[in-house]
Structure 1
Amino acid sequence: MRIVVAPDSFGGTLSAREAAEAIATGWRRAAPGDDVRIVPLADGGTGFAEVLHTALGGTVHTLEVTGPLGDPVTGSWLQVGDTAYLECASACGLHHVPRADRVPVVARTATTHGVGELIADARSAGVRRIVVGLGGSATTDGGAGMLAALGAAPVDVDGLPLPHGGAALALCARLDGTPDLGGIELVAASDVDNPLLGPHGAAEVFGPQKGADATAVAELDAALGTFAAVLADLAGRDVRDVAAAGAAGGLGAALLALGARVESGAGLVRDLVGLDAELDAAAASGGLAVTGEGSFDWQSLRGKLITAVARGAADRGIPCVVLAGQVSVGRREAGAAGVDSAHAVADEFGLDAALSDPAGTLAELASRVAPRWSR
């Protein structure tokens, strides 16, 4: 039977390929007769460009850009023909912020300026289409930094440029300048469908991961509300409630204001790497799909990668098994998403072991799960 191993990355511990190889190693150890195929995936967040580079080839462009804290970081984007694929996390990812620095002041001031620099570099290279993977950001600035890098700086009522970060947007009156993308088609590949504001919005849902306390969350949500009116002037429509506006700390809203079309990051990658063909082969052999990520939680059910894999498996009548670092989704909710069973490394071996030996413990979990499913 064919086993399609198609995980996302596991937070900051394993890339999607490393996770897939660990699962495959453990599965083959316990079920050597199974035909195990690895298909590393991404949903728009961290690893998006790496997964596509593995599958599609192309040229990786590397450059120094402004990181989320304002310091220079090394960013990159992938060129395949006349299309550029870039992940916002390359420039403004949470991995650029040490855990000790994930505090309210950083959550208020982190910037997407580097994302705009990556887009500008791709534009200069002559591409016709730019696909921006959204997810894994350290920012909650509504894409204000990106717009500034593209020539439209947020300013206050006196026309003075605002400092970096989402909190400063409480004083935003307008944009000084108009972004010029030169007719490039823009696609926002989102890992979530959250709106910009409110209880399911960028600040409330994702702010705490980035160091925002309750006070900072309230400030950022109010500031993004002010900025939403400015984005509406740019877009000619209100984008605050459009699906994915809240992705990557509101970067999705700014991309929408620039005319971007929203696509499911997981669905886009699924198509480009040929996941459907692998699932077809698994169905023909009575096999199954195995997917996973660092934390299988309620956010995983809001359009992220696991739901795309589970939906593809369900469409073919084959089981979908999740192997994750941690699992907090209940059995009923997982089943409704098409997941037949979910298993956590932390539950089997403890969180400390999972973090100290992520590949080894994930492989061992796979070897324990495989006999339950393999013929």
Structure 2
Amino acid sequence: MRVVVCPDKFAGSLSAPEVAAAIAAGWASVSPGDELVCRPLADGGPGFLAVLGGLGGSVLDVGSVDPLGRPVGAQVLLVGETAYVESAQVCGLHLLAEGERDPKVTSSFGLGVLVRAAVAAGAREVVVGLGGSGTNDCGAGMLAALGAPPVDAAGEVLPPGGAALSRCAGLGGAVDLGGARLVAATDVDSPLLGLHGASNVYGPQKGASRSDVLLLDAALGAYRGVLNKAFGSDLDLPGAGAAGGIGAAIFALGGRRVAGFGLVRELTGLDAAIDGASLVITGEGSFDAQSLRGKVVSGVAEAAAEQGAPCVVIAGVSTVGRREAAAAGVTEIYSLAEHFGDAGRALSEAADGLRALGARAAGQWSR
């Protein structure tokens, strides 16, 4: 058999390459004669750069800062005149301890440092993977790092974070990207404001209380008005609310949005890898209703269906019914939580569990 293993990361546990390797090792322990092709995937969030390593090019190490301004190392992938940047490396929620999660004060400044480094290295297009952020500042920190900090009515630079933007009256400088174009790679199509906007939908998981959410939504509304006045760009496009509103800042700078998974699917040659496959295995930490809306798993299932190959999902936890899964093109679901009988072990012993489920899948599917 020819088996393609193309999972997303297991958030808080294993990277996509680690997940793929564990599943493949389990399968090979039962059916060593089968051909195993690993294509770890991402949708623009954490792991975006890791899955693009096969593109070649060069990696630029950049010293940046995390959402609270602490030093953190990050990378920019340069392929020709295109640079790829992962916002989660500097804005990620995983960089913050539980007690540090407060989107009123966290900042996207570190992302602006990466974009600036990419432009300085000669990039004519900077593709920014958005997802998994611990910030909700509408990209104000990013713009500050690029030369345009938010200022109050007296012209004083505002402190970092989303809350202070309620006092924003303008920008204290101009952004010069040297003609480079920005691209937001994200599968989040949320608007910036309102019930389905950045603050309401994603604020709580970043540490925002209900009162915080209302404050942040109003603050981002005020900042949106400043961006409209400064740039005259359309900020009401789908994806403006991605990564706490960084999508809106990219739109303000004349950038555009592409589907994160679609981009990764193309760049990693996923369709060519699946062509002729006997089975496709994908997965993620939590296989839920959101997984069926443009995420890696649903995208892989669609690609497999187009090639006439069955698609199996191996997840940490699954809450998707088999009828829903079948409608999305998923043939079988394996769950670490069911395997261990304990969701805690599914997280702490994920690698062992994935090897075991890979072996079980081989026993059931290999010819």
- Regarding TM over 0.5, the answer is yes
Partner of 2:132: 136
1:193 and 1:302 in contact (8 A); partners too: no
Once residues 356 and 174 of structure 2 are traced to their aligned partners in structure 1, the CA distance between those partners, rounded to angstroms, is 54
Partner of 1:6: 6
Partner of 1:342: 333
Output aligned runs, 1:134-283, within 5 Å: 134-240=130-236, 242-282=237-277
Partner of 1:61: 60
2:234 and 2:251 in contact (8 A); partners too: no
1:92 and 1:111 in contact (8 A); partners too: yes
Match 2:281 to one of 290, 307, 316 = 290
Shift, 1:368, TM fit: 2.2
Q: Alpha carbons of 1:218 and 1:328: their partners in 2 closer, same or farther (altered >3 Å)?
A: farther
Deviations 1:17-45 (A, max 9, x none): 10001111122233344322111111111
1:313 aligns with 2:328: no
Shift, 1:179, TM fit: 1.1
Give the SS at the match of 1:186: strand
1:365 aligns with 2:357: yes
Deviations 1:269-308 (A, max 9, x none): 11111111111121xxxx1211111112233233221222
Shift, 1:118, TM fit: 0.6
Aligned length: 366
Give the SS at the match of 1:281: coil
Once residues 323 and 249 of structure 2 are traced to their aligned partners in structure 1, the CA distance between those partners, rounded to angstroms, is 36
Deviations 1:37-85 (A, max 9, x none): 11111111111112112x1122211122121012121121111122111
The residue type paired with residue 43 of structure 1 is: D
Shift, 1:236, TM fit: 1.8
Q: Alpha carbons of 1:230 and 1:297: their partners in 2 closer, same or farther (altered >3 Å)?
A: farther
Once residues 304 and 362 of structure 1 are traced to their aligned partners in structure 2, the CA distance between those partners, rounded to angstroms, is 20
Partner of 2:29: 29
Deviations 1:107-162 (A, max 9, x none): 21110000001100111111111110101111111101001111111112222211
Once residues 343 and 187 of structure 2 are traced to their aligned partners in structure 1, the CA distance between those partners, rounded to angstroms, is 25
Match 2:366 to one of 343, 357, 374 = 374
Q: Alpha carbons of 1:237 and 1:184: their partners in 2 closer, same or farther (altered >3 Å)?
A: closer
Give the SS at the match of 2:103: helix
2:233 and 2:251 in contact (8 A); partners too: no
Once residues 234 and 300 of structure 1 are traced to their aligned partners in structure 2, the CA distance between those partners, rounded to angstroms, is 37
Bigger CA drift: 136-145 or 343-352?
343-352
Q: TM-score, normalised by structure 2?
A: 0.95
1:45 and 1:191 in contact (8 A); partners too: no
Once residues 33 and 214 of structure 2 are traced to their aligned partners in structure 1, the CA distance between those partners, rounded to angstroms, is 55
Give the SS at the match of 1:130: strand
Once residues 268 and 46 of structure 1 are traced to their aligned partners in structure 2, the CA distance between those partners, rounded to angstroms, is 15
The residue type paired with residue 295 of structure 2 is: K
Once residues 151 and 132 of structure 1 are traced to their aligned partners in structure 2, the CA distance between those partners, rounded to angstroms, is 18
Shift, 1:320, TM fit: 1.6
Once residues 332 and 161 of structure 1 are traced to their aligned partners in structure 2, the CA distance between those partners, rounded to angstroms, is 54
Shift, 1:95, TM fit: 1.7
1:235 and 1:256 in contact (8 A); partners too: no
Bigger CA drift: 208-217 or 27-36?
27-36
Once residues 311 and 65 of structure 1 are traced to their aligned partners in structure 2, the CA distance between those partners, rounded to angstroms, is 37
Once residues 133 and 197 of structure 1 are traced to their aligned partners in structure 2, the CA distance between those partners, rounded to angstroms, is 21
Give the SS at the match of 1:10: coil
Structure 1 runs (4+) deviating above 6 angstroms are none
1:323 aligns with 2:314: yes
The residue type paired with residue 361 of structure 2 is: V
Once residues 326 and 208 of structure 2 are traced to their aligned partners in structure 1, the CA distance between those partners, rounded to angstroms, is 33
The residue type paired with residue 223 of structure 2 is: F
Q: TM-score, normalised by structure 1?
A: 0.93
Partner of 1:351: 343
1:108 aligns with 2:107: no
1:228 and 1:238 in contact (8 A); partners too: no
The unaligned stretches of length 5 or more in structure 2 are none
The residue type paired with residue 246 of structure 2 is: L
Give the SS at the match of 2:194: coil
Partner of 2:96: 97
Sequence identity, in percent? 55
1:127 aligns with 2:123: yes
1:154 and 1:174 in contact (8 A); partners too: yes
Q: Alpha carbons of 1:219 and 1:334: their partners in 2 closer, same or farther (altered >3 Å)?
A: farther
1:191 and 1:305 in contact (8 A); partners too: no
Give the SS at the match of 2:49: helix
Q: Alpha carbons of 1:124 and 1:191: their partners in 2 closer, same or farther (altered >3 Å)?
A: same
